[in-house]
Structure formats: structure tokens, C-alpha cells
Amino acid sequence: MRMNRRDFWYEALPRILADFALVHLAALASLTAVVILGPSDRSAEMISELRRFYVASFLPLSPLFPVVFHLHGFYTRSRAYATRYKWAVVAQGATTASLVFLFSAFVMTRADAFPRSAAMTFLLLVNILAIGARLAKHWLSTLAANPGPGATVQPTASACDSADPVLVVGGAGYIGSILCRKLLAQGRRVRLLDSFVYGDQAVRDLFGHERFELCIGDCRNIQNVVAAMKGVKSVIHLAAIVGDPACEQDRGSALEINYAATRMMMEVAKGYGVQRFLFASSCSVYGETEELVDERSAANPISLYAQTKLDSEQALLRGRNGGFHPTVLRLATVFGNSFRPRFDLVVNLLTAKAMRDGVITIYNGEQWRPFLHVDDVAEGFLRVLDAPLELVSGQIYNLGDSRLNYTLAQVAESIQALVPGTRVENVENPDRRNYRVSFEKVNGELGFSCRTTLEGGIRDLQEALKSQRITDYTDSHYHNQRFLKAAGRLSSKEEMDSQVMAAFAATLENYQHAPAELAGARK
């Protein structure tokens, strides 16, 4: 789901040329500074020496810069990065390119051809110009396309505008980027609320669609939520810090986003008369069990992530009334390619490792997991959205297919069959999550079944990796926990947001230290 080579060169070439020009501007400026600050009686001699260096050394070596920039993802991945992380990547790439050039110039001339004072100035200027150009572009595009947090980009008039939009909270992510497209394909109007923590690349091509509305904002910000809820009858809530490692890394933000924000959104939704509220939960709420579990089985969450999902479920179901109808979808373990790919998911990661390394490691291979392709997740939400309200109101559905209950060892065997020569290493660790899930309810009541098999999802990932649509699966953009660690804490930007989140989290019964953790997230 990446651009092809022709599209890449069409989009990237102007940016490559612009960076190339900026690098030359930095070189000329730093060399000029040496002449201006140097002894006046040697000006003519210095100009001659520096001109010779520029022509003989800098010009032939300057193509190193766009090459190093490209290897750092300047023209592919970095556009999708969250703003704070993007500048760090650009600075790292600019510094690396400058050092590679200086080393190459030294090897070529066997002398300190680039004056040291000019070298330091040059390194600083390359960073300033590379980051500054992107800051300017980001600022201008934000002014043109995004009026501000909570502001809505209105679509043009169409025959479909008479229908109420579906609000997708967190719709720029792994699941939401597919779901938004499916909703639009049905002829619905779609309103997206997202803070673009992972960037906007997954939904950027939807900007300007006549039935697509964009609300940029944080689901913890009550003003953003109020603006996004106006005129909405159906909400699909996907926003969360997803995964055990990511939640444990920033427990305070996980409590805010995964639980407190859900409670706040519920109250706003009820105030605006939202009827359907679909919530993305997880089958991980079942924890460790040897039994086949269904929606009536006792929940036994053994991680912070699972606990926040269970508490959100309970809050929503308690809030159900004659006008507010929540539905909980407990998702199986998701896999497959998406517009925002992830490689911190077991099937995706093992497939990529098998293709690159020929070796995969399986931890506790006899553990069971239910699996579900990301495209089928989106189909499941559509099935609930289209179902009679009285059927799905206040219901919990395990979303998946019993045919995709596999042990981790069976997953490894499927990958071995499709990636011949793969060696499997079996390791035991303390993670004892083990559950097989029944999906009879969603199949019987809603007629849902998975269209994509485990093997089909693996083949699709293989094709994306082979065709270079995904160039480097180890990039932190594809790993929630690593990306968030690099980007820093996701603490609330406004003090009022923090206070609102603390108020909605005050009723937590399962987190003895919740107030302290929320306070820690604001530091």
C-alpha cells in the first residue's frame, strides 16, 4: 500500500532537488563566512583555495547527501512521522550526511581540505536548512488544509450529504485507515477525529474527498470531542495506546487515552444524542484460560492494556439508556497489511523475519490465539453498524472466526510452508496468555465470518515486502512501543485536559495508583 516507483520519483524528485540546492547553499555560505572572517590580506588567496575545493571536492561528492537522506527515509517514510519525531529523524540524517561527506573529502584529498571553522558552520547550516524547509512546508500546509485543532474541513455538497456522518475516532491508524475507506465506498459520510500521532499518511489521499470530513484533535480534549460529535448519530471508537509494551511504557497516558477519554466521549455522545457507539476492545480481556471462552465467560485481564479495555467496556454498558446504544467488539489478534502497516503483531513480525532472516523465534508455542485479518476487522464494524439497533444495543461480540484459532506453533508452520527454508526456534518465557475464543454469537446473529485466511494474509504481506511497498519492517514507525518511546510521552497538552481526564479516571477501581500515574503523565 505504498507508492509505486513512478509515483515515488514524481513526488520525491522536487524534494530531492530542493535538498540538493539547500546543501550547496549551506556549503557556499560556510565557505563565504571563512573568507569574511579571515585575514583581509589573504582574501584573494583564500577565495582561490576555497573555489578550488568547492569545484574539485564538494561538487563531485555532493550527491552523497541525497543518497544518505533517502536512506534515512526523507523521501519515503519520514513524511508520515509525527512532527516531533520527524525533526529528530531529519536532524540525524542531515548530521550523518555531513559527516559522511567530510570523511569522504578527507579520504579523497588526504588533507583537511574543508576548513574546520567552515565544517562546523556547514554542519549546522545543513541541519537548520533541512529542518527549516520542512517546518515551513508543514506550517504552510497546516494553514491551508487544517484550520486548527477541532476545526472541521467541510466537504463539498453531494447527494450523500443528507445522511449523518459516521465519526471514526482514531481513524488514521492500522484498522481505521481501512475502515474509513470502506465506509466511503458504502456511500456514507465519514468524519475523522485523530491527533495524527503516527502521521497522516495512511489517510492523506482521502483529504478533499467530498464525503470526508477531518477533525484534527486529541480524544482527551473535550473541545475537540464536542466539535467532532456535532450532528453525529454513530461513533466508532478505535483510539487507544495499543499493546501491552506500549501501555506499560507510559501507563499514565494509557489510562487517559484507553479509559478516561472513553468515559468522557460517552458523556459527550449522550449529550448530543449519539445513538450507536461501537467500541474496539480486545479478546485479551480473557487472559489465561484453558477453556474455550465466549462472551459469557469471566474476564481475567493480566495486562494494563486488557484492564483498560475491560473497564471501558463496563463503563459504556452501564451508560446504556433509551437513546445511547453501545456495542463492544472484542477483537481477535489482528494481522495483515494495512495503509499504516504494523510489525509489532505476531503474524506480521514473524512473516517479515522469515523473509529477511530465515529464522523465527516462537515463545511458548503451544499457546492458543484467535487471529483476524485487519480487513475483516473493518468488515465486522460495518456489519454491526448496519445491523438493527435493537439487536446490537448493549451487546458484546467476540469478533473473529473459530477457523482462525491457532497455536503459535501452528502459525510458525504456516509461515514455514509459505517461506521455504525458514528455521523455527522455540523459547519459553513468562508470557502465559492462552485462550481459544468462540465466535458463534457474531456468526449466528450478524452472519459474520472471516474472508481472509491466515495463509492469505501471510501471502499479502510477502507480496508487500517483496515489491518494496514496505521497505524496512524494522522502522520504528511500524512498531507502536518503539515509535512512542522515540516520540516521547503522550501527555495532555492542556492543563484542563489533564484535569478532565483525572476527573473521569477518579472512579477507577482496578488501579490503586491511577491518580499518581495520571499526574506522572502530565510532568
Q: Which domains does the chain have, with CATH numbers?
A: 5-145 (no CATH), 163-521 (3.40.50.720)
Q: How far apart are CA 513 and CA 523, in angstroms?
A: 16
Q: Which residues contact 411 (CB under 8 A, 6 or more apart)?
A: 346, 347, 350, 362, 369, 371, 454
**DSSP labels, 403-444:** GGEEEHHHHHHHHHHHSTT-EEEEE--S---EEEE--HHHHH
Q: What is the pLDDT along the chain (523 residues), one digit of tens a residue?
A: 344 455 456 567 888 888 889 988 988 888 788 778 777 767 777 777 777 778 877 888 889 888 888 887 777 645 444 444 566 778 888 899 888 888 887 777 655 555 666 788 888 888 898 888 877 876 665 454 444 444 444 443 333 334 789 999 999 999 999 999 999 999 999 999 999 988 899 999 999 999 999 999 999 999 999 999 999 999 999 999 998 888 888 888 899 999 999 999 999 999 999 999 999 999 999 988 888 999 999 999 989 999 999 999 999 999 999 999 999 999 999 999 999 999 999 999 999 999 999 999 998 888 888 999 999 999 999 999 999 999 999 999 999 999 999 999 999 999 999 999 999 998 887 766 677 899 999 999 999 999 999 999 999 999 999 998 998 999 888 998 888 888 766 766 677 777 788 888 776 555 544 444 444 443 3
From the centroid of its chain, how far is CA 154?
25
Q: How far apart are CA 68 and CA 468, in angstroms?
A: 18
For residue 326, the cross-strand partners are: 277
From the centroid of its chain, how far is CA 136?
24
Q: Which residues contact 423 (CB under 8 A, 6 or more apart)?
A: 358, 359, 360
